[in-house]
Structure 1
């Protein structure tokens, strides 16, 4: 049986004939879109989400909230900027809160935000909410959320697995209060509890009691978005206790929110400039953001590029050389696949640290990156908490994705400079970047 008969069609990764020169528009942030959907669904009044990301993960979130009774209307709209800037036009979602109800079944796919953010919401529903998903979702940890919700007064049936499938028996309210959790496996455990906490009778006090928390920028994103809709949040960064977050019970405001571009999804396009010695501008890069992808400016500059932030966006230029890097990516773990791909093409070794939690993502990303880069001739070894990458001349071959969108984009980066790379199931990029293949070939066409 041939490879292509076992796996979805292979996509020949486009090869760059010279330096890339392009301007790209990256769709909205998945992390911001799904947090905004939850907060808008729990608000006391309707709100707008403008330029939301339409991808598998965000559509699963919207579908789940609709099933529980929330109104989400999709329109093409225009609104004047509150700061006197240009009008914001494009797709918008009008979110109309309603009484949450069961019985319903929610399909989480393999979306960490959906499987973790919605069980706390389901405790507020009147009736049972059953959660199920892709086979891989059964392997991803949920114990932090399940155990915490039980402590706070919820009734949950999960067969004592600490994972999907599970049923939350919503009682229309949750008592809330203090809870201790180990969120070292995923910062989403903390965010999940904080997002629904204003609707709990006592709010919540979340105390992390495990080893270091990964992906702290995502928790900061959650806190800022809560405050933007009127929630009171005390956190470590504002003088609170270390690893303790407190959210007071309150009504949430409906807001008119324009979603930022997804900076982590900008990574492959910036990497294209770096590995080809070219130039790429990503439109509308925010001056200030809590998105982990903003760290790419510093990381990719250290690997041999340079960048300039202007009112139009971020312009990144490659120098024609790629340097190895020694970096702790604990706060920005989702950037690891793209950085590993660039590091495999560098002129010196790289060590990527602080990302042991990636073994629990859409796939075991550390094992997957090691296997796929090595099968193209690379020299990657796993460490206890990351990867060590020694650059070697790479060759063409099949780059498997394991239904992981960031594996697909990592393979595409390598394919820019290594002829003959074929990406298995590039369609998995629809999880967060539905038009990736067309955007990728369009970027190369712009530089042709």
Structure 2
């Protein structure tokens, strides 16, 4: 199920400081959680302004395979859960972490076998933590299964109960089990035993969305989440803009000395992308939010930074790209786990930034970036949308950068290249 290669894409230079207003589509993280919860609920619900991209299409198709009826019209989707989930199908996870992690606990509630496959690149992504947890919950998973592809056999009365995991490689393992926990016969008493779980805001988002639907979640004890068994209420929701996908656009203002506004930025949110406010300020940009949205104004300098991105690790590629243009050595910490994301992002960033002329070295949990005069080269995206965002960003100020696969941005923003070019065109007017 590998993606088809695409032609190279010359990253456009910024002819002037970027000055634009850019509306980004809905949050992938919120959209896919909302879809899962709608499928698990005890009645129909509506999702408005959900992200329509490869990851969320894969999620909708996965739920349809399990018997969920989804009716799409413009910016509104109607989700009707089945009385009992349907077994017997094969679910394509693509390269979507939320699909490969969030859907198996739902499939474990189906009375029979469900198969999971994905893009070949996804076969290296960690799955053993979740599959072991589902075995402990009462699902049948072959002993040899530890990565994609795999099969599992579920039951509508899956027991659940006390489950211990080491989720230090991905917060998605915690969210995946929490989302379905209320549907387990005994509920879920989930305990984490290991190093700190990364991306805590994503877990906070999951817990908040469960509580919004009437699910009782006790997270008062560190590294433990107790989900009471019971119904999940259907809730109609409006999806927030994807703040992480806003990162390259806002960063464009910071590196070109321009001004970019992203409308509808929430005043309060569980999205890790909200860390951009502090991150871009640390780099030296002026950042402010009002009723119009979040605005970033670039200044005449980009300062070196020392950042712990554990809670917002998905921002690492864009942050590393900015750091390669800064006035001194920068350090990114707390992101060892992104070696297991769509690609090994630390190795990919080291390779690609070095190819442009920077000097980058990996540490145990991040990167050290020494800026140098950068020159053009072919920027490899590794089928990773965040790597493509970083390459496009550098292309604004570095001549002759070409991306080998701009199409991979369709994972979360199919219109990325068009929005990027429009932003540049608006700045030249």
Q: TM-score, structure 1 length as denominator? A: 0.94
Tell me if 1:206 matches 2:186: no
Partner Cα separation in structure 2 for residue 127 and residue 33 of structure 1: 27
Paired residue for 1:101, among 83, 86, 100? 86
Tell me if 1:160 matches 2:144: yes
**2:331 aligned partner:** 351
Match of 1:406, SS state, is: helix
Tell me if 1:15 matches 2:13: yes
Partner Cα separation in structure 1 for residue 381 and residue 145 of structure 2: 27
**1:36 aligned partner:** 34
Any unmatched runs of 5+ in structure 1? 1-5, 77-90
Listed as ranges, the matches of 1:104-183 within 5 Å are 104-157=89-142, 160-183=144-167
**1:84 aligned partner:** none
Match of 2:312, SS state, is: helix
Partner Cα separation in structure 1 for residue 188 and residue 129 of structure 2: 15
Asked if the contact 1:29/1:260 (under 8 Å) is kept, the reply is yes
Any unmatched runs of 5+ in structure 2? none
**1:226 aligned partner:** 210
Tell me if 1:75 matches 2:73: yes
Q: Deviations over 1:254-313 (max 9, x none)?
A: 111000000000000000000000000001000000000000000011101011111121
| 4+ residue segments displaced more than 4 Å | none
* Pairwise CA distance, 1:7: 5.8
**1:81 aligned partner:** none
**2:235 aligned partner:** 255
Partner Cα separation in structure 1 for residue 140 and residue 81 of structure 2: 24
Match of 1:212, SS state, is: coil
Partner Cα separation in structure 2 for residue 213 and residue 325 of structure 1: 23
**1:267 aligned partner:** 247
**2:57 aligned partner:** 59
Asked if the contact 1:370/1:381 (under 8 Å) is kept, the reply is yes
Partner Cα separation in structure 2 for residue 350 and residue 161 of structure 1: 40
Q: Deviations over 1:213-248 (max 9, x none)?
A: 11111000100010111100011xxxx221000100
* Pairwise CA distance, 1:68: 0.8
Match of 2:393, SS state, is: helix
* Pairwise CA distance, 1:161: 4.0
Partner Cα separation in structure 2 for residue 7 and residue 195 of structure 1: 34
Q: Deviations over 1:104-142 (max 9, x none)?
A: 000000110000011100111122110000111110001
Partner Cα separation in structure 1 for residue 145 and residue 355 of structure 2: 35
* Pairwise CA distance, 1:205: 0.8
Partner Cα separation in structure 1 for residue 109 and residue 224 of structure 2: 23
Partner Cα separation in structure 1 for residue 151 and residue 103 of structure 2: 11
Paired residue for 2:173, among 178, 189, 205? 189
Partner Cα separation in structure 1 for residue 372 and residue 190 of structure 2: 46
Asked if the contact 1:125/1:173 (under 8 Å) is kept, the reply is no
Match of 2:51, SS state, is: coil
Tell me if 1:25 matches 2:23: yes
**2:367 aligned partner:** 387
Q: Deviations over 1:357-403 (max 9, x none)?
A: 01000000000000001001111100111000011000011000000
**1:280 aligned partner:** 260
Q: Deviations over 1:33-88 (max 9, x none)?
A: 00000000000010010000001000000001011100110013xxxxxxxxxxxx
* Pairwise CA distance, 1:348: 1.1
Q: TM-score, structure 2 length as denominator? A: 0.98
Listed as ranges, the matches of 1:304-323 within 5 Å are 304-323=284-303
Asked if the contact 1:117/1:191 (under 8 Å) is kept, the reply is yes
Q: How many residues align?
A: 424
Between structures 1 and 2, the one with greater strand share: 1
Partner Cα separation in structure 1 for residue 299 and residue 413 of structure 2: 27
Paired residue for 1:242, among 222, 239, 246? 222
Partner Cα separation in structure 1 for residue 123 and residue 399 of structure 2: 37
